Structure formats: structure tokens, C-alpha cells
Amino acid sequence: AALLPRPARGLTDRLYCGRRVCYEVLGVSRQASKAEIARAYRQLARQYHPDRYRGEPAGGEGSGAQEAHEKFLLIAAAYETLKDEETRKDYDYMLDHPEEYYRHYYHYYRRRLAPKVDVTIVILVTVCAISVFQFFSWWSSYNEAINYLASVPKYRIQATEIAKQQGLLNKTKEKGKNRRSKEEIREEEEEIIKDIIKNKIDIKGGYQKPKIYDILLFQILLAPFYWCKYIVWYCWWIYCFTIKGQEYGVEEKLYIIRRYMKMSQSQFDSLEDHQKETFLERQLWIRENYEVYKREQEEELKKKMAMDPRWKRYRRWMKNEGPGRLTFIDD
């Protein structure tokens, strides 16, 4: 029954000016300009504003002021409806087509409930916030990696030797008036060692040094460039290796291997060089060879898990106890 078309009701109490025509409320015609509508509104607002109304009570004490207040709200509603071109267009359509009941409700409440802030601005602010969080999060991870490497004896000793060869540690030990406390000297030496580690070591993967063009904002801005670059590269690949039948180079072979392994570029770059050499020696860019290599790795992983004491304890626990029981087992 709700889906059946209702008879034409014309003006309704809950839309725009209710049962009154907004043009008649302001005392203007439907052809009135925005300036005429604004002028009529200002005149009526000065007359019926609750703070300026001085009329006589119509039906008892305070009733005149109440009527003036309701009249002012009706005038304000009429002006809000007619001052905007889009809202006025929808209202004129309602006057001309009163039978389209549900369409009028939809347009009215869609404008009333629509967000006032531009969606583009919201998206831009969100992307900027995510980008800032990304950048500082990557810097935090990078600093954690440097602090860890500075605590590893192997890298710390090498960095200390380089600092001594460059004469950086001798500068921290000054005498006379410029003499500093042991704590200050220790902190400066620590910073020197960390700087050497930053310059000498190559960190790849999730802990690598962050780059400004890797954040989300720059990725979105550079997306058209990346797409064009990929299309050009893909056409070159088809032309060289499919049409002309050229042999793959080292970079092309590693690219095919990385695609087979379903690894990102940063994950593949974090692998050791001897692993990549093994991939090339076994010719893993050939699909059949890669399938054989994949099965070997799966079998090796199963053997390691079978020999792992923790895995054995887990299987024994699953067999004897199972996940459905609560027991106080230290293991």
C-alpha cells in the first residue's frame, strides 16, 4: 500500500512553507528576482522579528508575540527556500507537479540532510592526515632499526673503527674550558656511530629510510605518471619479447621470478644477493622450473616443522587436549 501512488495533495505541512505558498508569504511573484526576494524578506523580518515586534496582543497576554514569532519563522523558511536557485527550482517544480508526492519528499530531505562541507575537502584532509601518519611511522621504524643495529656488536665495532679512522671520536674529547661531562661525550659518540651506520648500511624492506614520494598523497598525485610509464613499459615488453622474440636479460628474469613468487618490489629487494643468484642458476623464470622449486620449498618447510620441538608439542597437545578444553599447562 505504501508503494501505491497517492492522490495529489499539493502543499504539505512538512515541506518548505507548509500549506502556505512561499511567494505569498513574502508577498512577491514567481518571477521575482533574488534582489526583490531579499528586499521583501528584510522588510518583513524588521516587522515581525520577536525582538522588534510591538504589535498588540490578539487573543490575550503574550499571544501576539507568539503569533509574530511563528510568522517570523514562516518568513525565514520562505526566504531560505527561495534564495537558493536549486531549492527554488525544486519548489517551483512541486508547485507545478503536486502529484509527484514522493519525489518532492526525496529532494527536500536530500538537501536538508546533505553534508554542508565539500566532500572533496574531506577526502583531501583525510589523505593528508594518512600521509603524515605514514611518514612519521616510517621514520619511527627506521630509527628503531638504526638503534638496533647500533646495539649489535658486529656493526658497532665496524662503525667505531670508521669513526676513529676519520678522527671523529677524538673531537669529542676536549680539554680545558670546553671540557664536557662523560654523559655528554657518550651521547655525542653514540650519535656519531649512528650516523656512520646510516651512511654505510643499506636497509631494505619495511625498515628502509622513508622517502617523501612513497606516501599516499604523492602516490595519488603521481598515479597518472605511473600509469603512463607502465603502459609504455608493457608495450615495450610485448614488442621485444613477444613480437621480436628477444631473450630475457637479468632484470627481466628477476622480474618474472618476483611475479611468480607474488612478492612486492621492496620485499624482493630485501632478499640477499646469493638468493637471487640461486634463482637465476635454477632458471626459475621458466614456469616448470619454478613449480619444481616451489614443491621443494614446501617439502622442506614440512620437514622443518616436523622436526621442530614446538610444532611437535603443538600437535601432541591438539591430539590429547584439543582447543576446546581449558587446562593449566605451563607449556
Q: Is 224 within a domain?
A: no
Report how far residue 286's alpha carbon sits from residue 283's, in angstroms, rounded to the nearest whole number. Answer: 6
Q: Are residues 126 and 148 in the same domain?
A: yes
Q: Is 201 within a domain?
A: yes
Encode pLDDT of 225-267 as tens digits. 999 999 999 999 999 988 988 889 999 999 999 999 888 887 7
Q: Are residues 203 and 272 in the same domain?
A: no
Nearest to 261 by CA among 288, 290, 286: 290
Q: Is 194 within a domain?
A: yes
**Model-level pTM greater than 0.85?**
no
Residue 162 has pLDDT above 60, yes or no: yes
Nearest to 11 by CA among 70, 73, 81, 68: 81
Q: Are residues 104 and 37 in the same domain?
A: yes
Encode pLDDT of 87-125 as tens digits. 888 888 888 887 777 787 777 777 776 666 677 888 899
CATH number at residue 83: 1.10.287.110
Q: Is 16 within a domain?
A: no
Q: Which among 66, 96, 113 is the end of a domain? A: 113
User: What single-letter amino acid sits at 320?
Assistant: N
Report how far residue 229's alpha carbon sits from residue 265's, in angstroms, rounded to the nearest whole number. Answer: 16
Q: Give the burial class of 258: count Cβ atoms within 10 A of its Cβ; 0-12 exposed, 13-18 middle, 19 or more buried.
A: buried
Encode pLDDT of 191-234 as tens digits. 888 888 888 776 666 677 778 888 888 889 989 999 999 999 99
Burial letters for 289-323: b for 16+ Cβ neighbours within 10 Å, e otherwise?
Answer: ebeebeeeeeeeeeeeeeeeeeeeeeeeeeeeeee
Expressed as residue numbers, the domain containing 132 is: 120-171+181-210
Q: Is 232 within a domain?
A: no
* Domains held by the chain: number: 3
Q: Are residues 55 and 90 in the same domain?
A: yes
